[in-house]
Amino acid sequence: MTAARIPSDHDPDEAQRIVRALSEAFSAKVVGQEHLRESLLIGLLTGGHILLESVPGLAKTTAARVVAESIDGVFRRIQCTPDLLPSDIIGTQVYDAATTSFVTQLGPVHANVVLLDEINRSSAKTQSAMLEAMEERQTTIAGTVYPIPEPFLVIATQNPVDQEGTYALSEAQTDRFLLKEIVQYPSPEQEVEVLSRRDAGLYDRDHRTPPVVGLEDIRHLQRVARQVHMSRDLMLYASRLVGVTRDPGNHLPRQIARLIEYGASPRATIALCTSARALAVLSGRNHVIPGDIADLAHRVLQHRLILGFEAASAGVTANVVIEAALQSVRVP
C-alpha cells in the first residue's frame, strides 16, 4: 500500500491547487470583487489583518464568512457599538455557583476569522483590547494568557459616510492592519448576477459554503509564502518607496510634499514585502517582481499616511501622495 504523498513546502502545484480552490469558493458566493478576494487571501497567507472601507451592502460580511467556511475555520462576527466592552471581545471570568468558583469564558476573538463590523463605532478602550490579540496572537484574562487559534485573520469594516457616533481609529490601531481595501460598487451586470443567485437560494442562511481546504493547507500556504524569493534590490525599492513618505520635501513636488504630516513607519515596509511575497504565490510565482510592490503600494500605505488640514480642505486623498511616491522612485 502506497503512503499518501505529503506536499513539501516547495511544492508549487499543491500551493496552486489550494489557491484555486479558495478562489473558486469565493467566486461561487461573491460576485466580482476580485480585488477584495485578493486582499483577503493575502491576509490569510501572511497572517495579517485587513481593514475594509465601504458603504453598507457590498458583501463584506458575506466575503468574511465565505473565507472562514471555505477553510473549515471558526467564524465570529462582532458588531461594534459604543457600549461594547473589552470583555465582550476577549472574554471574562464568570462566577459558577455550582462549583463556587470563577470560570473563564473566552470571547469571540478566539476564532480563525473574526469580523469586526463598523470598528470605528467602538470606543478607544474597546479598540485597544484588540491590539494584543492582533499583534501577539493571545489574550490575557485575569492574568492568564490564552493563545488565539491559528490561522487568525481579523477583518474590520468601517463606513466612510455616516460618521455620527464614531471614534476614529488611532494610528497605532490602523498600523496593525496589513492592508486597507476600498470596496467598490458592483457593475450593473454584476448586480443582476447577485439578484439571480439570490433567487436561486445561494444566500439563504442554511446555504453554507462547503470547506474546500483545511487549516493545515493554509499553514502550508503561509510557509510557501515565507519562502518566496525577494531580491535585495526589491527590498530596497520597497524601503525607498516608504522612505519617500517620511522625507517628502526631498522627493515629491512641493504642492504634494506639504500635505504630509507624518509618513509610514518601518512596519509599512515589512507589510509591503510580506504581502508582495503572498501576491507572488497567488500569481503562481516563486519570486517577487516590481509589479507586486506597485500593485500593493496603495493598499499598504493609504491608511498609514497622516495628511494635514490642507489636504482635507482640498479633498486630496492619500492615494494621490502614494501615486506621486511611486513616480519618484526608480523601479529596479
What is the DSSP pairing of strand 144-147 with strand 138-141? antiparallel
Phi then psi for residue 139, to 5 deg, are -130, 155
Look at residues 40, 8, 42, 26 and name the one whose alpha carbon lies nearest to residue 288.
42
pLDDT at 126: 83
Structural domains of the chain sorted by starting position, each given as residue range(s) with its CATH number in brackets: 12-222 (3.40.50.300), 228-328 (1.10.8.80)
DSSP per-residue letters across 290-313? HHHHHHHHHHHHTTT-EE-HHHHH
Beta bridge partners, 288, equal: none
Least confident of 51-65, 106-120, 200-214: 200-214
pLDDT at 11: 65
Residue with cell 473565507: 67
pLDDT at 6: 41
**9 pLDDT tier (thresholds 50, 70, 90):** low
171: left (phi over 0), alpha (psi -120 to 50) or beta: alpha
pLDDT at 250: 84
Say if CB 131 and CB 176 are below 8 A apart: yes
Per-residue pLDDT of 68-115, as tens digits, reads: 999 999 999 999 888 888 889 999 888 888 887 888 889 999 999 999
| Distance, CA of 86 to CA of 160 (rounded, Å) | 24
Mean pLDDT of 271-292: 95
Most confident option among 129-133, 157-161, 312-316, 317-321: 317-321
In terms of Cβ atoms closer than 10 Å to its own Cβ (0-12, 13-18, 19+), residue 250 is exposed
pTM of the model: 0.89
| Distance, CA of 87 to CA of 126 (rounded, Å) | 9
Checking if the pLDDT of 8 tops 90, the result is no
Per-residue pLDDT of 110-163, as tens digits, reads: 999 999 998 888 888 888 888 888 888 988 888 889 999 999 999 999 877 656
**165 pLDDT tier (thresholds 50, 70, 90):** low
Per-residue pLDDT of 220-269, as tens digits, reads: 999 999 999 999 999 999 999 999 999 888 888 888 888 888 889 999 99
pLDDT at 7: 46
Show Cβ contacts of residue 275 under 8 Å, excluding neighbours closer than 6 positions: 42, 46, 48, 178, 179, 296, 299, 300
Per-residue pLDDT of 21-45, as tens digits, reads: 999 999 988 888 889 999 999 999 9
Mean pLDDT of 12-27: 89
Distances (CA, A) of 260 to 71, 272, 291: 40, 20, 25
| Distance, CA of 208 to CA of 66 (rounded, Å) | 8
